[in-house]
Amino acid sequence: MKRFAAGVLVTLLLLAGVATSQAADWKFLVYGDTRSSDSIHVALVDRMVQEKADLVLNTGDLVPRGRYPEQWANFFRIIAPLQKVSTYYPVRGNHDFGMDYLDNYEMSRDGLPHFDVPRPRPGVFYYAFTHKNAKFIILDPFLRTDPKSIQGEWFRTELEKAKGIPFVFVSFHYPIFNAHPRRPDNEELRANLHDVMRKYHVSVVFNGHDHYYYHTKRQGLIYVITGGGGAHLYDIDKARLRKGDVADKAHHYIRCVVGDKRMHVEAIDLDGNVIDSFDVKAR
C-alpha cells in the first residue's frame, strides 16, 4: 500500500512538472510594413487577435507618411483590437518619420495615443525590454550603429546585460541580407552588427522593409524579413537564395511560441496557411 501511494505521488509530481513546463510557454507575434493596404492589415489583425499573444512586434513602416496625424489615427484604429489583448512594440521604419509616436506630449496634441516603451532617453527610437525568459532589443538603423556611436555602445551594453537570458531577439527595419531583385545587402549594417550579434548568440534578428517573407541563416545567425503586413509585395530573386533559405511573396505574420529551452516559429499567411516553420534552441 505504501509502495502504491509512493508511486502515485511520484506520478503526480511528474505530471505537475509537465504541466508547469507547458504553462511556461508563451507567445509573441511579429509582422511589418503595414502601410498602404488597410484591408490587408485589418485581415491580419483579425487573425492575430485570435492568437492572444503576450506581445506583438511591428518591424517598421507602420504608416505611409509619418508626418500626417490622420494616418496615425487610422493606424491606431486598426490595431486597437490587437492592443486589447497584446502589448504592441514598434520599430522605426523609413516611412514613419515625422511624428514622435513614442512621445505622449507630441501625439496627444493631435488627440492620438502613443506607444509607451522604455527608451533610454527622450527623442530616440531604440529601446530594450525583457519579457519572461527573453530580451528584445530594438535598434534604429537611421542612427549610427558602429561601436563608437552612442547607439552602438548602448547596443553592446544591452547584449552584455542579456547574458544568462535564454532568448535574445534583435529587430531593426533595414535588413542586412535580402532576396530583392535589385537591392544589395546592407554592408554598413553588416559591418556594424553581424559579428557582434554572432558573438553574443542572438537568437533571431527580425527585419522589415522588403515586402515579402524571407528566412535565412548566416554563419549560425538566423535572420527573418517579415514585410508582409499590408504594403504591396515585392518579387523575390530566387537566384539569391542559399541552401536552406525560405522565401515567399505573401502577406503574413509570424507566430513565435517560446518554451524553456526551445522556440517554435511559424509564418502564417492571410488564409491561415503555414508557409514556413522552424525551431530555435535557447542560448
> Distance between CA atoms of 151 and 134, rounded to whole angstroms?
21
- Tell me the average pLDDT of the chain: 93
Report the CATH number at residue 220.
3.60.21.10
The phi, psi pair for 205, rounded to 5°, reads: -105, 125
Residue 12 within any structural domain of the chain: no
| Residue 4 pLDDT > 90 | no
pTM for the whole structure: 0.91
Residue 18 within any structural domain of the chain: no
> Distance between CA atoms of 160 and 200, rounded to whole angstroms?
8
Question: In 3D, which of 78, 81, 72 has the Cα closest to residue 100?
Answer: 72
> Distance between CA atoms of 215 and 248, rounded to whole angstroms?
9
Specify the higher pLDDT residue, 12 or 151.
151
Q: Confirm if 127 and 135 have CB atoms less than 8 A apart.
A: no
For the record, the C-alpha cell of 148 comes out as 563608437
- pLDDT per residue as tens digits for the range 240-274: 999 999 999 999 999 999 999 999 999 999 999 99
Residue 7 within any structural domain of the chain: no
pLDDT at 8: 43
Residue 4 within any structural domain of the chain: no
pLDDT at 186: 97
Enclosing domain of residue 38: 24-281
Question: In 3D, which of 77, 64, 202, 187 has the Cα closest to residue 137?
Answer: 202
Residue 261 within any structural domain of the chain: yes
Residue 153 within any structural domain of the chain: yes
| Residue 1 pLDDT > 60 | no
For the record, the C-alpha cell of 3 comes out as 509502495
pLDDT at 24: 72
| Residue 9 pLDDT > 50 | no
Contacts for 281 with CB less than 8 Å, ≥ 6 apart: 261, 262
Compute the average pLDDT of residues 13-24: 48
| Domain count within the chain | 1
Residue 239 within any structural domain of the chain: yes
pLDDT at 258: 98
Q: Confirm if 120 and 127 have CB atoms less than 8 A apart.
A: yes
pLDDT at 50: 98
Residue 218 within any structural domain of the chain: yes
pLDDT at 166: 98
| Residue 114 pLDDT > 70 | yes
Among 19-23, 30-34, 154-158, 234-238, the minimum mean pLDDT is found in 19-23
pLDDT at 19: 44
